[in-house]
Amino acid sequence: MSDHLLILRHSGDFYTKARKTRLRFQMRLARNIEDALVSHGIPYRLEKTWSRFYLETPDLRAIDVLTRVFGLQSVSLAEPRPWTVMDDIVAHGVDVFAESVRGRTFAVRASRRGSVERIPFDSMDVERALGRALLDAGAGRVRLDDPEATAWVEVEPGEPGAPGNAHFFREKARSWGGLPISVEGRAVALVSGGFDSAVASWLMLKRGVELDYVFCNLGGTAHRLGVLKVMKVIADLWSYGSHPRLYEIDFQPVAAELRETTKAQNWQIVLKRQMVRAAEMIALRTRRLGMVTGEAIGQVSSQTLQNLAVISHAARDLPVLRPLLGFNKEEILALARRMGVYDLASAVGEYCDMVQRHPNTRARPHEIERDEAGLDPRLLKELVATRTVWRLRDLSPEALGPSDLEADHIPEGATLLDLRPAQAWKAWHYPGSLRLDFPQALEAYPSFDRGRPYVLVCEVGLKSAALAEKMQQAGFRAWHFVGGIRDLMALAEKEKKVDLSLLAPAVRE
């Protein structure tokens, strides 16, 4: 198979940098490109120039991979042709573009590169001459704004006495620009497996910050698996040039301590401050320069400006970076889809059994510090010291497979326990199911009948998985219904126990 030529254009950020900085960025970009291609088994030959890179490869998968390398603006599949006079360029252009512009509106976009003083014509000359030749060859008509087809030409001079080179291409596959990962230093990101922390991490990667991740596990095995799946996508597809680690900290003892020693209305604030402290401990131990969170102003009760200020004060030596502060939820979800993590993050959702009906939206530092005075400072240090480290790009598919907590049907004689709020349960529930609020179920399960099996269900399957794991550890036969209430509805329809078309859209969704 013959090689294809790809033109790789640098991000616009490169052109504002001093020469020394730009050279450093280009060296790092080349390393990240090579890591991306090697990771996917794509052979290549890379040529580096001041304004762009040229890459030869027999594998066109490279285009998709390279558009995910931060620091590149676009990628084009080009046909190189030699030229001596402008008529050569026009003839080659007709040969390359005649079929793609036949009967369609089109525009010719030409540019000169390199030592342009050795090119005896300008870009407009090429555009006019090639445009006229394409019209004569059957093109529909010229339309400079939003044409149906574009004929791109880049002209370079040759060495004195040698032919020049022209590159012809039809498309520019857009990349994300930004900066090559690691040129702006290293940080840690607090992640939960949900949309916000994943998108916040991605945005910092796009700005050249190399990341490791801190995961404070409140939901057990299922929560871990969900987070690992989301973060592995980011590690495998968006972190070229780095090998990120995820530090998992068991935060269930922290949550238990908070329930006993702090006011319920302050649980969320104190919990977030403890997470910030844990992330700072790991960041300092690994010589990171800051921590990233996925908070957006006003999105939930703990993210009012007042509460964010109080949470930030928990970090004593490092800045808290919040790239999503001004984002709307719809914007975050749109980025999650484009990143390829939307479905996985939807399945994880947000786990917390400490959400109160009337949380504190305007916490005061002195009252939070008074609540925290009852916490044992040794507990957090011990949990951080016994953290589990996951090397995300090295994780095997087996490590992310289904757990023995999952059920996709209701066994004969099993009790189905629905953990959703009463209003949602009344709107629709599986026939014969029982209901308990999640916090109540956590307290009550030791008194359940141990002689019967249990299947637990919640909105997305995370809270039910956490409870099923606790019940299994206590000797119960318990599973959670994988996929949450939506998949349970699908099962009920398959069993002809419900007609989903008769339910209100809000209930079905």
CA 425 to chain centre: 32
Query: What CATH number should be reported for the domain whose range is 406-508?
Result: 3.40.250.10
Beta partners for 389? 247
Strands 210-217 and 186-190: parallel
Residue among 150, 149, 153, 155 nearest 168 (CA): 153
Report the pLDDT value the prediction gives residue 1, as an integer from 0 to 100: 46
Ramachandran class of 176: left when φ > 0, alpha when ψ lies in -120 to 50, beta otherwise: alpha
With contact defined as beta carbons under 8 Å apart, do 307 and 359 qualify? no
Q: Which residue is it, tokens 């068991």?
A: 250
Please say whether the structural domain 186-400 has been given the CATH code 3.30.450.20.
Answer: no
Report the pLDDT value the prediction gives residue 353, as an integer from 0 to 100: 54
Report the pLDDT value the prediction gives residue 121, as an integer from 0 to 100: 95
- Judge whether 458 counts as a catalytic residue: yes
The correct CATH number of 4-174 out of 3.40.50.300, 1.10.3720.10, 3.30.2130.30, 3.40.47.10 is 3.30.2130.30
Q: How many CB atoms lie within 10 A of CB 217?
A: 21
Q: Which pTM value belongs to this model?
A: 0.87
Q: What string of DSSP letters covers 81-121? A: EEESSHHHHHHHHHHHHHHHHBTSEEEEEEEE-SSGGGSSS
Per-residue pLDDT of the chain (509 residues; tens, 9 = 90+): 468 999 999 999 999 999 999 999 999 999 999 999 999 999 999 999 988 999 999 999 999 999 999 999 999 999 999 999 999 999 999 999 999 999 999 999 999 998 899 999 999 999 999 999 999 998 889 999 999 999 999 999 988 889 999 999 999 999 999 999 999 999 999 999 899 999 999 999 999 999 999 999 998 888 898 899 999 999 999 999 999 999 999 999 999 899 888 888 888 899 999 999 999 999 999 999 999 999 999 988 888 999 999 999 999 999 999 999 999 999 999 999 999 999 888 877 655 555 556 677 888 988 999 999 989 989 999 999 999 999 999 998 777 776 788 888 998 889 999 999 899 899 889 999 999 998 889 889 999 999 899 999 998 887 888 889 889 989 999 999 988 888 898 898 888 887 767 666 655 56
Active-site entry in 66, 179, 279, 458: 458
The domain ranges of the chain are 4-174, 186-400, 406-508
DSSP letter (8 states) at residue 286 = T
Residue among 11, 363, 414, 383 nearest 184 (CA): 11
Q: What string of DSSP letters covers 429-455? A: --TT-EE--HHHHHHHGGGS-TTS-EE
Distances (CA, A) of 220 to 296, 405, 463: 26, 11, 10
Report the distance separating Cα 218 and Cα 197, nearest Å.
16
